């Protein structure tokens, strides 16, 4: 806009240009801030951000293009390994990943409990098992006396009810077998046992011809004829004692 002065000369007047926000002058730092830790660096950083407002977006774009995380972002040192090994969008054995992991954990715990239980059972059986009354151990043993019809026994021989024979406990018979698959070769076959019943009239001798599945290690299963020599057959079972001959 042109205006005439009193002397007739024209003067061009222009409106002042607005000052942009980023061009405003930065306050001069105080002398005290120079001696404070980080004061100078923070002031320089503030000035740089103040005078370069577009620098931060440019830096973020540069980091993004370079594939680097932006400063201040949380970084994972190992990444999400679970997602790499078991992607969450897939199904495992027809189950979602969460259900599959729960089932897998439950199966693992159950397997560990089973292993511990079996180990404890085997240890208890081997450590606290009853000692077998083998012939070389000697002594007198006490147990129940019962009777059965012999027939063909584990030693491979046939005997009727009138034979003076006996079947020993299966654990004792198998222990004496020493792992031989043929029971006819068991060293107890043909061995003699002297047995008497509590309150009976005397002792008798019987021959081992069989193994008894339901007998405990010190029980004996006699033929009917042998049992009648010790007690009345109607009693079915009696307490007695015996020893190897």
Domain ranges of the chain: 83-122, 135-244
Query: How would you label 35-69 residue by residue, b for 16+ Cβ within 10 Å and e otherwise?
Result: eeeeeeeebeeeeeeeeeeeeeeeeeeeeeeeeee
81 or 148, higher pLDDT: 148
Output the pLDDT for position 127: 46
Q: Which residues pair with 158 in a beta bridge?
A: 152
CB 152 within 8 A of CB 184: no
Average pLDDT over residues 58-86: 59
Asked whether residue 195 carries a pLDDT value surpassing 70, the answer given is: yes
Asked whether residue 51 carries a pLDDT value surpassing 60, the answer given is: no
pLDDT digits (tens, 9 = 90+) for 4-28: 444 544 555 555 565 555 555 555 6
Output the pLDDT for position 138: 85
pLDDT level of residue 137 (50, 70, 90 thresholds): confident
Average pLDDT over residues 103-121: 91
Output the pLDDT for position 165: 97
Q: What angle do CA 136, 193, 177 make, to 5 degrees?
A: 50
Query: How would you label 20-31 residue by residue, b for 16+ Cβ within 10 Å and e otherwise?
Result: eeeeeeeeeeee
Q: Is 75 helix (H, G, I), strand (E, B) or coil?
A: coil
Output the pLDDT for position 79: 46
Output the pLDDT for position 77: 44
- Whole-structure pTM value: 0.49
Q: What is the fold, at CATH topology level, of the domain defined by 135-244?
A: Barwin-like endoglucanases (2.40.40)
Average pLDDT over residues 203-230: 96
212 or 78, higher pLDDT: 212
């Amino acid at each position: 806009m042109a205006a005439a002065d009193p002397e007739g000369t024209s003067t061009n007047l222009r409106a002042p240009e607005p000052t942009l926000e980023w061009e405003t002058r930065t306050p001069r730092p105080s002398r005290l801030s120079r001696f404070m830790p980080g004061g100078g660096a923070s002031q320089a950083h503030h000035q740089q951000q103040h005078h370069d407002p577009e620098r931060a977006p440019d830096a973020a774009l540069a980091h993004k293009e370079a594939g680097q995380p932006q400063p201040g972002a949380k970084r994972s040192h190992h990444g999400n390994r679970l997602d790499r090994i078991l992607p969450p969008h897939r199904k495992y054995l027809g189950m979602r990943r969460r259900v599959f992991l729960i089932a897998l954990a439950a199966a693992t715990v159950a397997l560990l409990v089973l292993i511990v239980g079996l180990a404890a059972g085997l240890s208890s059986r081997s450590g606290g098992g009853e000692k077998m009354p083998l012939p070389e151990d000697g002594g007198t043993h006490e147990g129940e006396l019962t009777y059965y019809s012999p027939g063909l026994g584990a030693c491979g021989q046939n005997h009727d009810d009138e034979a003076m024979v006996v079947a020993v406990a299966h654990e004792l018979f198998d222990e004496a077998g020493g792992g031989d698959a043929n029971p006819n070769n068991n060293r107890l076959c043909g061995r003699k046992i002297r047995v008497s019943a509590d309150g009976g009239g005397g002792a008798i001798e019987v021959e081992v011809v069989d193994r008894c599945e339901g007998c405990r290690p010190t029980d004996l299963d006699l033929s009917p004829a042998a049992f009648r020599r010790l007690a009345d057959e109607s009693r079915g079972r009696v307490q007695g004692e015996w020893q190897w001959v």
